[in-house]
Amino acid sequence: MSHRKKALNGDIIRQALKESVLKLDPRVMFRNPIMFVVEIGFVITLFLSFAPNAFGGNTPAWFNITVAIILLITLLFANFAEALAEGRGKAQADSLKHSKKDIVAYKESGGTLREVPSSELRRGDIVQIEAGQWVPGDGEVVEGLASVDESAITGESAPVIKEAGGDFSSVTGGTKVLSDWIKVRITSDPGESFLDRMISLVEGAKRQKTPNEIALNTVLTCLTIIFLIVVVTLPFFGNYLDVTLEVPVLIALLVCLIPTTIGGLLSAIGIAGMDRVTQFNVIAMSGKAVEAAGDINTIILDKTGTITYGNRMASEFISVGGTNDSAVAEWAVVSSLKDETPEGRSVLELAKKMGLRDNQSLAADGEWIEFRAETRMSGINLTDGRKVRKGSVDAIKKWVVEQGGAIPNDLDVKSDKVASAGGTPLAVAVDERLLGIIYLKDTVKPGMKERFEQMRQMGIKTIMCTGDNPLTAQTIAREAGVDDFIAESKPEDKIAVIKREQAAGKLVAMTGDGTNDAPALAQADVGIAMNSGTTAAKEAANMVDLDSDPSKIIEVVAIGKQLLMTRGALTTFSISNDVAKYFAIIPAMFMAAIPQMEALNVMRLDSPMSAILSALIFNAIIIPLLIPLAMKGIAYKPTSSAKLLQRNLLVYGLGGVIIPFAGIKLIDLMVQIWV
């Protein structure tokens, strides 16, 4: 990726400060039960600041005011954390909105082009786009070839070639055609485009809570209810001991004991996790997908366009059975005259370099046979009755036998040689005669082997799925460094592999870019579609990689693990904090009546009031101090789950006990001067 979005700026911070006040609305706070309890406590103590004897209490008005102010600051800090995380997503959404404009489109109507605004385009409309014009909406290229600038969406300045057929036919509204021309079939209605979905997804305010987050919220809410019951019953025990427990003191105790730290940061952690994914130019359709990525065990990768560049080009015509290379080239050209795929066009280009001319008249009125995954071949039925076919070697062999022909003895040797070199052999046949092979070459993307090794260290198994024959698949798998491969796979084979892994209790990720990958992308726990791929693939996936880099899955997995670790670590830290706050407030409340409780005052705090205020102040300021960690996430290094758990318990569990002791004592020393 050429750049990263700037994490924070003055505008985001100023807007977050404003939002932190607006979020004090009880209707908003109610969505966070923990902070809603704090807000109720703030309202009560604020009331007692002006009517200190309202509940028969005798705490000084200044103490009540101080507690109210500290609770208000706690609320503002928690709201600020969430607003700051949302602000980054909204800033990115605003930048995307600049790319969304009402573009003039040239729509085909009755054989002519009619100028219409893009807002009037509907699914199925055909538009023509020439050099210098903007793509008016999401669609598939149905004719032509053009260089397209996608920098408004991906941030990459390098143009992308878009062409009819294959897996590079998808175009996105808001991008610009730089050269040549294309005809595009619109695939989305207004308001449903990829850009529209991106804008809504990156706006953190619209993020739905994930199952793990909901479960943790439930646990934290239960803890809050338990502590609330404990605090409500304390006055009855106090009466038995002849100790008067004032309402502000009880509120302070409740706020310090409930998990306010994680309650204030929980939403920010989730939003920031999704935002970190977008910083790697990956759009996550849900937080659930990001979380699932953190627990991935197996990754299924499509070969063409994912592990390899996908542009398999004809590089040689190889004759078999006593024919000559020129005859193979001639009939390969005939079979490719109406083939709009990159491979088909490369056959024509290679023949042109060899000095062969296209015999357009021969195929002029012929019946074109489209390529299908089931038959794995294409071709043409000529008007003179001859049938020409081009496709996988096995499929053509079967077809030739069905036509009553024989298989040349040297076919398998020559096709295996092409496959073992990493190429793809396509056989060419006319009626019952198999003439030869078209040698198609593909190239593994650089750095893939190193990236797959990283996945191996993370405990992730990589499986490559390809429609190529076993020898070709084996060569590419060895060169790329994947753990396993499945050759001659059909769409249903990819789904079967995913279901098999899932049945074994594993979470599976799938990356792909073609329409045939769509079912598998939908079945996988995490489906990552390449932005260069088809609309069907992007709609089926729950993540879209704008850079079309399949190895990006490593960053996505790391971010998923980061999200889960950050949430767990800060939850541990928050609950551990309660131990120190307990030792600060409980002795302060009961020492007068029970002198023996002085033994619990291990911090030797100055007075009951200073102890309560110190614990409250620490409880408030720890939230903004942890915001950078919540936003950035805990650093992840590939290691075992046991070691990660041990490290986090040591750092955030033990640290969550020690730091509050030191922090509350330091604050108490400063509070003494004032109190």
Residue 127: strand, helix, or coil: strand
User: What is the rounded distance in angstroms from the CA atom of residue 616 to the CA atom of residue 588?
Assistant: 13
177: β partners = 148
Rounded to 5 degrees, φ, ψ at 483 are: -75, -35
374 is in an annotated binding site: yes
At 299, the amino acid letter reads I
Dist CA 608 CA 63 (whole Å):
12
Report d(CA 361, CA 193) in Å as an integer. Answer: 42
Catalytic residue, candidates 302, 468, 525, 547: 302
Structure-block tokens of residue 20: 């932190």
Q: Tokens 């614990």 sit at which residue?
A: 615
Backbone angles phi, psi at 619, to 5 degrees: -60, -35
Pick from 223, 80, 75, 4: nearest CA to 630: 80
- Residue 378 is labelled as binding a ligand: yes
Q: Which two tokens stand for residue 462?
A: 């990589």
CB 362 within 8 A of CB 378: no
Collapsing DSSP to helix, strand or coil, 110 comes out as coil
Q: Is 479 annotated as a binding residue?
A: no
**Selection from 228, 243, 249, 227 nearest residue 66 by Cα:** 249
Provide the residue type at 328 as one letter. V
Sheet holding 387-392, edge to edge: 313-319, 433-441, 424-430, 387-392, 377-381, 367-369
Which residues of 77-190 form beta strands (DSSP E)? 104-109, 112-117, 126-130, 139-149, 160-163, 170-171, 176-186
Task: Tell me whether residue 47 is annotated as binding.
Answer: no
Q: Are 23 and 31 in contact (CB under 8 A)?
A: no
DSSP secondary structure string for all residues of 603-668: T--S-HHHHHHHHHHHHHHHHHHHHHHHHH-----S--HHHHHHHHIIIIIIHHHHHHHHHHHHHH
Q: Binding residue per annotation — 339?
A: yes
- Residues 6+ away with beta carbon under 8 Å from 61: 49, 50, 52
Helical spans, DSSP H, in 165-210? 194-202
The answer to whether 376 is annotated as binding is yes
Return d(Cα 517, Cα 404) in angstroms, integer: 35
Residue 416 annotated in active site: no
CA angle 483/485/486 to nearest 5° reads: 155
Separation between Cα atoms, residue 106 and residue 118, nearest integer Å: 9
* Long-range contacts of residues 227-235, Cβ cutoff 8 Å, at least 24 apart: 227/254, 227/257, 227/258, 228/37, 228/254, 228/258, 230/257, 231/257
- In the structure encoding, which two tokens stand for residue 57, read together? 């209490």
- Terminal Cα-to-Cα distance of the chain (whole angstroms): 56
The reply to whether 375 sits in an annotated binding site is yes
User: Nearest to residue 536, comparing CAs of 523, 519, 548?
Assistant: 519
Is there a binding annotation on residue 371?
A: yes
Burial class (CB in 10 A: 0-12, 13-18, 19+), 314: buried
A 10 A CB-CB count for 340 gives 17
For residue 152, what is the enclosing H or E element? helix 151-154
Beta strands of 277-401 (E only): which ranges?
282-284, 298-302, 313-319, 367-369, 377-381, 387-392
Hey, what amino acid is at 645?
A: L
- Nearest Cα neighbor of 303 from 488, 558, 532 is 488
Radius of gyration over alpha carbons of the chain, in Å? 33
What does 335-351 look like in DSSP terms, one character per residue?
HHTT--SHHHHHHHHHH
Which residues are known catalytic residues? 302
Pick out the residues of the known binding site for Mg(2+): 513, 517
Which residues make up each annotated binding site? 339, 343, 371-378, 390, 513, 517
| Residue list, annotated binding site for ATP | 339, 343, 371-378, 390
